């Protein structure tokens, strides 16, 4: 019934396209994803280039203004001031550095753990595979946030450890995906052919298995980043994450939430930028998933 039943006929007229060129073409057709990508790049640039943009410093206190004052366009306080008369907008940008950095680092950690775990399980197979995936199943049932919070309590809130902790609880999906891909690729005939003609196991893994895994892995990486940022914001919001004088979007939202009665712009601004970033990342991730694994949606 679906269009796929119609054989279009391989040879003459249709030009073959590599998987990546095809995916890029499909991604670019997705307006929401492209727009999100642009917005996200702008946000990242703004946050990391903030020191060079000629803005006020984040710890610059202005005694003339009141705390939690409203946005003041003449003086350039786009979101007004915070509890200590500092420029809230600048603090938000700098906070973005922390949040985004956590996002990328923790995702990297989860990527490394997940890929190694999944590829090993999938490649070795048998009892070891079963055992490794049992562990994944068990860990899946555990409420992460609780463990992350406990980890932060235990390790005295060192920022790097927070990144690692979050990454350490986010690798499960990645492991599952990579294992699934490894298994399906390993069974394909061209791997058997390679093995039969004496190609070393290592070469098989690097030359054949890993490139074929990349598609779903890329999709999951783009979807893990917002999850990780969300987790970090969550614990920072509760006061257990990043500590003063550093701040992340989570802590800023937390502060702004307390005073939302008198300074509603603060929560809208800080919460807004967090929300927009996460939204963009999700649209991008969705766009990548559609591009690399198209089904009739």
Partner 1 sequence: MTAILDVRNLNTSFSTPEGTVRAVNDVSFSIEAGETLGIVGESGSGKSQIFMSVMGLLAKNGRAEGSVQFKGKEILNLKVDELNKIRGVKMSMIFQDPMTSLNPYLSVKRQMTEVLETHRGMSQDAALTAAVNLLDIVQIPEARRRVHMFPHEFSGGMRQRVMIAMALLCEPELLIADEPTTALDVTVQAQILDLLGKLKRETGMAIALITHDLGVIAGLANRVMVMYAGEVAERANAGPLFKTPQHPYTQGLLRSMPRLDEHRANRLQTIGGQPPNLQHLPDGCRFRDRCSYAFDRCAAEQPLLRTIAEGRAKACHLEAL
Partner 2 sequence: MLHYLMRRLGGAIPTLFIIIAGTFFLMRLAPGGPFARERKVPKEVEENLLRAYHLDEPLWQQFLRYLNGLLHGDFGPSFKYKDFSVAELIFGGFPVSLQLGAIAIVLALAIGLTLGIWAALRQNSTADYAAMSVSMVGIAVPNFVVAPILTLLIGMQLQLLPVGGWGHTSNYVLPVIALCLPQIAAIARLTRASMIEVLSSNFVRTARAKGLPARVTITRHAIRAAVLPVVSYLGPAVANIITGSVVVEQIFSIPGIGRYFVQGSLNRDYTLVMGVTVFYGALIILCNLIADLLYGVLDPKVRYD
Spatial separation of the C-alpha atoms in residues 121 and 175, rounded to whole Å? 9
Residue 297 CB partners (closer than 8 Å, separation 6+): 290
Name the token pair of 255.
């502060």
Yes or no: say if 215 and 221 are a contact pair by the CB < 8 Å rule.
Answer: no
73 binds partner 1 (CB under 8 A): no
Closest approach, Cβ 15 to partner 1, in A, equals 11
Rg (CA), the chain: 23
Name the binder of 85 from partner 2, partner 1, none, CB < 5-8 A by kind: none
* Candidate ranges 10-18, 113-121, 181-189, 273-281; the one touching partner 2 (CB under 8 A): 273-281
Beta bridge partners of 81: 87
Closest approach, Cβ 223 to partner 1, in A, equals 25
7-32: buried (b, 16+ CB within 10 Å) or exposed (e) per residue? eeeeeeeeeeeeeeeebeebbeebee
Is the CA virtual torsion 69, 72, 78, 84 positive or negative?
A: negative
Could you say which of 111, 282, 287, 292 contacts partner 2 (CB under 8 A)? 282
Nearest Cα neighbor of 221 from 270, 281, 263 is 281
Q: What is the DSSP letter of 12?
A: S
Spatial separation of the C-alpha atoms in residues 231 and 241, rounded to whole Å? 10
Binding mask 5-44 for partner 1 (x = CB under 8 A): xxxxxxxxxx------------------------------
177 binds partner 2 (CB under 8 A): no
297 binds partner 2 (CB under 8 A): yes
Name the binder of 16 from partner 2, partner 1, none, CB < 5-8 A by kind: none
Spatial separation of the C-alpha atoms in residues 228 and 170, rounded to whole Å? 8
Name the binder of 253 from partner 1, partner 2, none, CB < 5-8 A by kind: partner 2
* Candidate ranges 13-21, 84-92, 132-140, 202-210; the one touching partner 2 (CB under 8 A): 132-140
Site for partner 2 in 230-259 (CB under 8 A): 230, 233-234, 237-240, 253-254, 256-257
Which residues are near partner 1 by CB under 8 A? 1-3, 5-14
Q: Which residues bind partner 2 (CB under 8 A)?
A: 1-2, 32, 134, 137-138, 141-147, 149-151, 153-154, 156, 226, 230, 233-234, 237-240, 253-254, 256-257, 260-261, 264, 267-268, 271-272, 274-275, 278-279, 281-283, 286, 295-297
């Amino acid at each position: 019934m679906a269009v796929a039943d119609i054989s279009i006929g391989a040879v003459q007229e249709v030009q073959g396209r590599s998987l990546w060129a095809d995916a890029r073409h499909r991604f670019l057709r997705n307006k929401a994803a492209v727009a999100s990508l642009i917005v996200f790049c702008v946000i990242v640039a703004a946050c990391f280039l903030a020191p060079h943009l000629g803005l006020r410093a984040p710890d610059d206190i202005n005694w003339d203004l009141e705390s939690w004052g409203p946005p003041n366009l003449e003086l350039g306080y786009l979101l007004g001031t915070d509890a200590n008369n500092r420029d809230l907008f600048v603090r938000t940008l700098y906070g973005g550095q922390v949040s985004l950095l956590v996002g990328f680092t923790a995702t990297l950690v989860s990527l490394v753990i997940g890929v190694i775990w999944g590829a090993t399980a999938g490649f070795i197979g048998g009892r070891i595979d079963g055992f490794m995936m049992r562990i994944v199943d068990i860990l899946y049932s555990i409420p992460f946030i609780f463990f992350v919070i406990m980890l932060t309590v235990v390790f005295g809130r060192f920022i790097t450890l927070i990144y690692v902790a979050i990454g350490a609880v986010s690798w499960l999906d990645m492991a599952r995906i990579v294992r699934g891909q490894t298994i399906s690729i390993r069974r394909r005939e061209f791997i058997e052919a390679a093995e039969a003609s004496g190609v070393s196991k290592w070469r098989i893994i690097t030359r054949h298995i890993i490139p074929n895994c990349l598609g779903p892995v890329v999709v999951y990486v783009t979807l893990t980043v917002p999850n990780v940022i969300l987790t970090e914001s969550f614990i920072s919001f509760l006061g257990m994450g990043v500590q003063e004088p550093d701040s992340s979007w989570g802590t800023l939202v937390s502060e702004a939430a307390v005073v939302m009665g008198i300074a509603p712009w603060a929560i809208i601004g800080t919460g807004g930028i967090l929300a927009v970033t996460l939204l963009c990342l999700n649209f991008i991730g969705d766009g990548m998933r559609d591009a690399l694994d198209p089904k009739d949606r």
